[in-house]
Each structure stands twice: as C-alpha cells, then as structure tokens.
Amino acid sequence: MSRDSIFQYSTTPTVQYSLLLFIQLSSIVYGLWSVTLLNLKAMEQSSARGNSGQWRNIILGILLGVIGLRVVSMVVDSLDTGESKVSSGLSEDLDYTEVEELYDTLRENYNGELSEQDLINGLKAGLIKGSGDPYTVYLSQEEREEFDSSLNGSFSGIGAELGAEEDHVLIVSPLDGFPAQKAGVQTGDIILAVDGVSMFGESVEKVVSVIRGEAGTDVELDLRRDNQTIKLQITREEIDIPSVTWENREDVGYIRLSRFANDTSELAGQAIKELESEQVKGYVLDLRNNGGGYLESAVEVAGLWLDDKIVVQQEQNGEVGSIMRSSKGSSTNKQTVVLVNEGSASASEILAAALQETGSATLLGETTFGKGTVQQLLPLDDNGTLKVTIAQWLTTEGNKIDGVGIEPDTESIDSDLSDEVDEVFDEAADLLK
C-alpha cells in the first residue's frame, strides 16, 4: 500500500490559461467591433461635411487596434512567464535526436522481444525521474487505478505503507494486524529487492505494483535494517481497512484513524457524535502508523476540534500561497491527546501539528516521519497521470514539516498496536485525568 504524499486534484493549468486568454480576446474583439460600427455611422453623418471627421475616426480606430494588439501581447506574455511558472532555462520543446538514435540502436541489436508501448512508458517514466524528486512520477492508467484503490483501503498485498528516500523505497509503516507487521516488517526498513529483483532506483508506485498480487501467494522481500540485510517471506492477503474505528474505553473516547480517505471526515464526525452522547471525559486520537492520504480529509477532521482556524499553509518558491482553514463551529472542546510515532506521515502530521499549535491537543509519542511536500495529480491525454510536486506544506504557525517531522509534547516509547495491552494509550488516558 502506498500513501506517500498529500494530494490535490485539478484540471491542467493550460485549460485555465486558455480560458483566460479567450475571455481577454473576446473583450477586445467586441470593443473593436463596436468602434467600427460607430466609425461607419460617423462616416455617414459626416459625408456631407467633408472628410475631416471621417479621417479622424479612422485614425482613432487604428490607434485602438494597436492598443488592443498590445494588450493581447501582454496577456500572452503573462501566461508564458507568469502564472504558468515554467521552469527557467528549459527549452519549449525537447530535442529527441539522441533518443531516436538510442531507440534505433536498441531495436537493431536487442536479442529478444520489445514492446513499443513498454518502451514509451519507460521513456515517460525516465523523463520524469530526471527531475530528481522521488515523489514526482508518471503513472500509467493501471498504476493510477492501483493508487486510487490503495487510498480507498481495498486491495490484495502485504499491508504496508511505502515512501521514498533518495534512490530507495522504504517502509513508512506496517499496517496493524496485517501480513507485513506479522512477518516483522518495521518502519524505516529499506526495500532492497522483491522476489530477487533489485528495487534500487524504482518509484514507490513500481515497488507497490511488484509487491501486490493474488491473495494466498507469497512474496519475498530483501530489507536493509541497521546495516543488516533481512530476508522475509510474506503471504499476501486481501487488505480491507476501515479508515476510522472508535470505542469508549472507560469513559475515554478512543478514535483510530488509519488513513485519510474520502469517508474519513464523515466517519470521524460520526464517532465524535456517538462518543459525546456517551459523555466521555476526553479523547485519544490515534494517528500512529497513519501514512496520510487526502489533504482535504485531514482539514475536515481538524474542523471537529478547531473553529475557523488555520490548519495548513502552502509554500511555493519561498512564498506562502493558499491557506486552508477549518470549518466554523467545532464538534468538541474536550481535552484531547494525539498519539503519533515515526510512522505518522503527511496528512496525519498536518492534523497533529494543527491541534498541537492551536492548543487543542497534547501530542504523545515519537517524532513523526517528516513528509511535507504536496503532489498534484494531473491527467494526461494518454489516460496516464503526472503526479508532480508543486509545493510544500507549512503548519498552522508556519513551521516546516518536510524532513523535520513534528515533535511530541511528551515522548513515549511506541508499543506495538497489535499488543493486547497498549501502554501508550494508558499513558494518554492518564494525561486526561
């Protein structure tokens, strides 16, 4: 399972800029047409008085036309160098001469079968990999479908959230009670190989697609942990994870968020409503091993505790752009403790930081993973998707998350979530007394 980022969906910027240009051009054409009609009418009225008025109107029309063309030029320039934010130093079109030479050489000399579509997909993936950002990747239609299914919590695999670090894919967190955790996979393990095939330099999405498979089949992972290589054989299972679970534990409302999916905020709201009716004295919000998901979902969950507060800020090229706030009117103001560990990443870090920095909750546990860049999913004409890093997220108070993480107010050794006795929860419950 891969939830390595925070995501926003949008149409392509080209569509937005084209619409703006169309509106500008339409306004100018309408204005020039109106002036032309007035000129024709003026010419008719002035014909009896000579040509001086006629020439005056013609000159006026020419001047307005020149001004209109200048406005069009300014609009086009602003689209090319302003809002589109095209990377400076890059040519508008690539020179594919060397690529064609490489393709011809491969086609003429390769001993085996080649798929033209596979080569094209590899070319696209390699182009994006040249950015040097492990979270900017090209997704084929199949990979996009797998990506969406992982966010919705239903798939067949080992039950682990993966992330990227330089040229390696690593375990962000094994999911509670599923094969990876049972086999001994731990947060921070680097995946060296899957079924004997090296995963060095591969994207998260590629590694996920290799690890997944039919339920009941085995997959072998070579992992690096503390400078040692560990080989584990894991049997795949059907993974179906509810994004929210809750219960009343001795008058303490325990809410566990495993990820931020489409239904998370609705279910979390239902949990608060039910637990409030039972008059719990406070809440323990468990974000341990929550690898993230949809940003909007995390902001909506924050609104259960926060009343019209800044939840997260977007920083792009060193400047703060959009700011996301919680909704007006919170569902509870009761004391809350948030549980975090090194497997808490991305959207869960945003939620934890917002509750901590507004004084709405106390954080208990370990410093979080530190994943604070935002990726946008842009659809392509070939039914693929470009997942591209567009900015980084800052906390409520403007603090950086990426590469830093969120420090808890109180440190606590993390216990296995599958343990019968959860010592960290007991510690959190004591903080509510």
DSSP state of 326: P
Residue 133 burial (C-beta neighbours within 10 Å; 0-12, 13-18, 19+): middle
Which among 146, 202, 300, 357 is annotated as catalytic?
357
* Of 346, 349, 360, 366, catalytic: 346
Closest CA to 268 of 250, 234, 294: 294
Do the beta carbons of residue 304 and residue 244 sit within 8 Å? no
**What does the alpha-carbon distance between residue 198 and residue 277 come to, in Å, rounded to a whole number?**
53
Give the C-alpha separation, 305 to 253, whole Å: 14
Compute the chain's Rg from CA coordinates.
28
Q: Is 357 a known active-site residue?
A: yes
Cβ–Cβ contacts within 10 Å for residue 127, how many?
Answer: 12
Specify whether 198 is catalytic. Answer: no
Catalytic, 371? Answer yes
Dist. CA 402–CA 287, nearest whole Å: 18
- Helix 141-151 vs helix 204-211: angle between axes, to the nearest 10 degrees? 80
Give residue for tokens 């700011």.
323
Residues that are catalytic: 346, 357, 371
